[in-house]
Structure 1
Amino acid sequence: MHTPFVAALALASAVTAGPVAKRAGTQYFGVNIAGFDFGCDTSGSCDVSKAYPPLSALNGADGAGQMQHFVKDDHMNIFRLPVGWQYLVNNKVGGSLDQTNAGKYDQLVQACLQTGATCVIDVHNYARWNGQIVGQGGPSNDQFADLWSQLAKKYASQSKLIFGLMNEPHDLDMTKWAASAQAAVTAIRNAGAKQTILLPGTDYTSAGTFVKNSGPALLGVKNPDGSTTGLVFDVHKYLDSDNSGTHTECTHNNIDDAFSPLADWLRTNKRQALNTETGGGNTASCQKYLCEQIAFVNKNADVFLGYIGWSAGGFDATSYELSETPTKNGNTWTDSVLVKACIKAA
């Protein structure tokens, strides 16, 4: 968790329902490109006016240039693109994608795709809309599914996209949340989209509690044909004292209490996961512990598809605690200390 500003498939040949042979490192590594989620908080409330498109063309940070640098100079191959649900539909729950706002977000999606990297569409609402839980007194499962049906239809032809159903659900009835996730998965597949779908759990989809609190219910989420092809679990894990992702110092590497038991559980159930948020301050302690965590994930690439650091994009390179935003001098980009030390191929 962090505090924000707050197959018949070609694709499925790479992302399968079960583990693959171990490789030297994970398939994916990259960073988040934040900004369209600014103004959203953990209650699922989003002040659309505070969204900060990370695109120079929209008077924001140069997210396109950052991604080009990360691909060219660091060989990163995945970027996660957070966006508020309210932003996409201009504050109309159950409404159609807003032509203006969704069009601006699409500019970031296209800038990402133009790098050749894989791009994750991330609805950044904590399984909520203005404090009310999806399928549990808030937006209905049909409304949630309709959002994803619209996104799936819009991007069905883009094979290098991944659909991240929801950022960091928390304090949920997991049986009900699994039904919400199922509704979205069914809607995406019925829209003709064959891309990988990320299934998050409760507890801010913590890797540390996933095996006990989230995984059992999510194992029942299936494609309409009954398979689990292309359905990957979405996990997060920070390394500070309270797993909040709000401190510049890190205290643990999460191996024994989170990623090792999760790896065993994934193998037992023949499934895979992607760590779409992790990170820390640009400090010696975070370099030590994050590099250790990533090394473990890389050694278990049969069950972990990769990791995505939090965060670059619209965050200031010097004032934000977990900044992974590179700085530019002339035509030269310089990575943050933590990115340079840890976020790289095995």
Structure 2
Amino acid sequence: MRLLCFVTVAVLAAPCFAVGRAEATPLPGINLSAAAFASGRIPGRDNWDYMFPRENEVEYFSSQGMRLIRLPVLWERVQPQLLSDLDPGYLAHIQAVAAIAKARKAKVIIDLHNYGAYGGNLIGSDAVSVEAFVDVWVRLARVFGADRNVLFGLMNEPKIASAQDWAAIQQKVINAVRAAGAKNIIAVSGVNWDGAHNFPQVNGDALATLTDPHHALIFEAHQYFDGDSSGRSAECVPQDQVERRLSPFADWLKAHHAKGLLGEFGVSSNAGCLADLEAALNFIHQTSGVWYGWTYWAGGPLWGNYIYSVEPGKDGSEKPQMSVLKQAVERSH
């Protein structure tokens, strides 16, 4: 869909973004994250240091109504040498997850979960050129560019210092992916942990400059509800603080006629945190027009006793957070 428009926000002209035939309601989803585990062990041992989602795991979450799977992967495993071929084994795993999800009417976001670096060196450094980052996405676009069921999540929580520099890097990737012929939805991220609560101040102006000839960009933000928004605590802020953490991002999306992805959010299973989770999902429902979807953090087979995990127990028992997530899924239908 071709769409050109400008909205006046204060004294800034903000471009209008569209995502083709947008979903009527936000897509509910889950992070299945074990393929990016053990990032300090490269390449690592398949099915030991890291693990891709199994068919029964995708089946479980899709049967609960999860229609969006964010699949964190490691750049060093996808592409063992910069500017070189993709690893056939690791790539085959990604393709298999995409095929399993598609059969269950779910979409997959390939999330390069590298915090803006390769081998510990930031993109744009002498060791990792911007061209190398462009290259890996062009290669992935050549593999997945014909599959609209696959979305491209360019980079998780980049540690690039400047939002403007990061926007310019992402623009080069967008241009190259489109030149390669791919029309997939592209999820762009922000710096400084990509928080929803301070998105306009930290990333808003920079990311508003992005353009896409296919108008298929979505903007990703993350938000946790512990005291410092770090996602490390089992305790959560009072329920009346949840909306104020999400509304800055939602307001920015509305002002820019854009669609957003809440790519990471999660809580522990105590009553206060479950109330926060319900409040967050209620807010997304109430502001559904600006959201492409959400993906809870996290599921996956290697989490063990991780406090935010919704991976079923070995006996098949469900985590308390799942009951809240399923209520939101039912409301989205």
TM-score clears 0.5: yes
The residue type equivalent to 1:49 in the other structure is G
Give the counterpart of 2:306 among 310, 315, 320: 320
Q: Which residue of 2 aligns with 1:336?
A: 319
Alignment of 1:236-255 (within 5 A): 236-253=222-239, 255=242
Runs (5+) with no aligned partner, structure 2: 4-15
In the alignment, residue 29 of structure 1 is paired with which amino acid?
Answer: P
- 5 Å matches for 1:36-185? 36-40=35-39, 47-49=42-44, 52=47, 60=51, 63-72=54-63, 74-90=64-80, 92-185=81-174
Structure 1: unaligned runs, 5 residues or longer: 1-6, 10-15
In the TM superposition, residue 194 of structure 1 has moved relative to its aligned partner by: 0.8
1:27 Cα deviation from its structure 2 partner: 2.2
The one-character-per-residue Cα deviations of 1:110-134 (angstroms, maximum 9, x if unpaired) are 2222221011100000111133221
Alignment match, 2:196 = 207
Give the TM-score normalised by structure 1.
0.83
- The whole-number CA distance in structure 2 between the counterparts of 1:108 and 1:19 is 23
Q: Is the 1:136–1:176 Cα contact (8 Å) retained in structure 2? A: no
> How far off is 1:242 after superposition?
1.9
Contact 1:165 1:181 in 2 (8 A): yes
SS at match of 1:79: strand
Contact 1:255-1:293 within 8 A present in 2 as well: yes
Per the alignment, in what secondary structure is the counterpart of residue 294 of structure 2? strand
Q: 1:280 aligns with which of 267, 272, 275?
A: 267
- 1:182-214 per-residue CA deviation (whole Å, 9 max, x = no partner) reads 111112111111111001001111111211111
Contact 1:279/1:322 (<8 A) preserved:
yes
Residues 251 and 108 (structure 1), Cα distance of their counterparts in 2 relative to 1, 3 Å cut = same
Give, in angstroms, the shift of residue 252 of structure 1. 4.4
CA contact (8 A) 1:46 1:84 kept: no
SS of residue in 1 equivalent to 2:289? coil
Separation in structure 2 between the aligned mates of residue 146 and residue 123 of structure 1, nearest angstrom: 13
Are the aligned partners of 1:237 and 1:278 in contact in 2 as well (CA < 8 Å)? yes
Equivalent AA in structure 2 for residue 314 of structure 1:
P
Distance change (3 Å), C-alpha of 1:79 and 1:19: closer
Q: Identify if the C-alpha distance between structure 1 residues 315 and 261 changes in structure 2 by more than 3 Å, giving closer, same or farther.
A: same
Q: Match for 1:312: what amino acid?
A: G
User: 1:8 and 1:314 mapped to 2: Cα distance?
Assistant: 41
Q: Which residue of 2 aligns with 1:4?
A: none
* SS in structure 1 of the partner of residue 109 of structure 2: strand
Structure-2 separation of matches of 1:287 and 1:165: 30
Q: SS where residue 246 of structure 1 aligns? A: coil
Instruction: Tell whether the 8 Å contact from 1:52 to 1:314 is kept in structure 2 after alignment.
Output: no
Separation of aligned partners in 2, 1:144 and 1:61: 23
1:295 and 2:291 matched = no
- Which residue in 2 is equivalent to 1:220? 209
Q: CA RMSD in A?
A: 2.7
Q: What residue identity is the alignment partner of 2:27?
A: Y
**Post-superposition offset of 1:273:** 0.8
Inter-partner Cα distance in structure 2 for 1:255 and 1:18: 27
Instruction: Give the aligned residue type for 2:262.
Output: N
Aligned residues between the structures: 315
Structure 2: how far apart are the matches of 1:130 and 1:143? 13
Cα distance in 2 for partners of 1:19, 1:258 equals 25
3-state SS in 2 of match to 1:297? helix
Where do 4+ consecutive residues of structure 1 move more than 4 Å? 50-54
Instruction: Give 3-state SS (helix, strand or coil) of 1:302's partner.
Output: helix
